[in-house]
Amino acid sequence: MSILHQLEEPEFKATKSDRILMEYIKSNIEDVFYKSISQISRESGIGEATITRFSKKMGFNGLQDFKVTLAQEISSARNRKIINKSIENDEPVYESMNKILSSNIRTLERTCGSIVPEDVDKASDMLIKANKIYFIGVGYSGIAAIDSSYKFMRIGFNCMGTGSTHDMIMMSSLMNKDDVIVAISHSGETKEIIKAVDMAKRNGAGILSITEKKDSELRELSDVNFGYISGESVLETGSISSKLAQIFIMDVIYTQVVKIKAEKVVEIKIKTTDAIKLYNE
């Protein structure tokens, strides 16, 4: 029997806690896949051990196995597969292009509307005052982290960007109160990111983060958090919409920094641009 069916009519004798958990899963069916067991426990009010037992009652080895299968079922049931949910397999290319364009525009519009100007000011101030800035992200978010590091390096900031989990941990262990870490994570629950940020925070570093706009462990650890709404499902992960939102937010912060330090950064940008031109001659 499918998970979706069992959530309505379980094959086992469900306890009160099981019922509460099933209602929680149904209410969070679009993003429960992203959540860690600690977050599910916190939000549902059900203990982690009970959640693990529930997954086994449902016929799985544990919560991760349960979440992966549930994601696959939902994808199959809604024909969502790994692309934008509005796209049909038999539609013309032109129609698909326009749907993707509209989806990306909506993502940027909603992201823009969710940004708090005071947070941009605070983030800009933190970066300007930082001795060194570390940009981190895993997978597709790592691309945005490295891009952001390159952008700030070109205007003279002492920074480093990485998608390597080993690099993140080593960097975090060496950070201090004069440094800032910028963590980019779609889910806000990536274990490697959480460990690195937690270590950096314990060393006194400032924490900026960019996540999807929802409660997450990374958001709670941050001094300033920027959220976006991509509408991306777990199987669509890697679509351009979430990366666009991440890069857009960083570009807003970057622009504010340049506005504040206009005269100095323009001079440095000219130097770095000229250096690259000379190298390419």
Nearest to 139 by CA among 179, 107, 186, 81: 186
Mean pLDDT confidence for 133-142: 92
- Give the type of residue at 106: R
pLDDT interval class at 271 (50, 70, 90): confident
What average pLDDT score do residues 219-236 get? 79
Query: Is residue 130 within 8 Å of 179, Cβ to Cβ?
Result: yes
Q: Which domains does the chain have, with CATH numbers?
A: 3-78 (1.10.10.10), 99-280 (3.40.50.10490)
- Average pLDDT of the segment spanning 121-140: 95
Tell me the two tokens of residue 49.
Answer: 């051990």
Residue 207 CA to residue 272 CA, distance in Å, equals 28
Residue with tokens 């994601």, as numbered in its chain: 71
- Give the pLDDT score at 160: 95
pLDDT at position 209 is 97
Q: Which residues contact 217 (CB under 8 A, 6 or more apart)?
A: 36, 38, 39, 188, 189, 194
How many whole angstroms separate alpha carbon 281 and alpha carbon 252? 33
User: What number is the average pLDDT over the span 152-160?
Assistant: 94
pTM of the prediction?
0.71
Task: Please tell me the predicted confidence (pLDDT) of residue 149.
Answer: 96
**pLDDT score, position 86:** 67
pLDDT for residue 131: 97
Question: Which residue reads 């895993």 in tokens?
Answer: 138
* pLDDT value at residue 281: 66
Whether the per-residue pLDDT at 232 is higher than 70: the answer is no
Mean pLDDT of the region 180-198: 92
Q: According to the model, what pLDDT value does residue 77 have?
A: 59
CA angle 179, 184, 187 (to 5 degrees): 140
| Mean pLDDT, rounded, for 76-86 | 57
Residue 202's pLDDT is 97
Mean pLDDT of the chain: 87
Length of the chain equals: 281
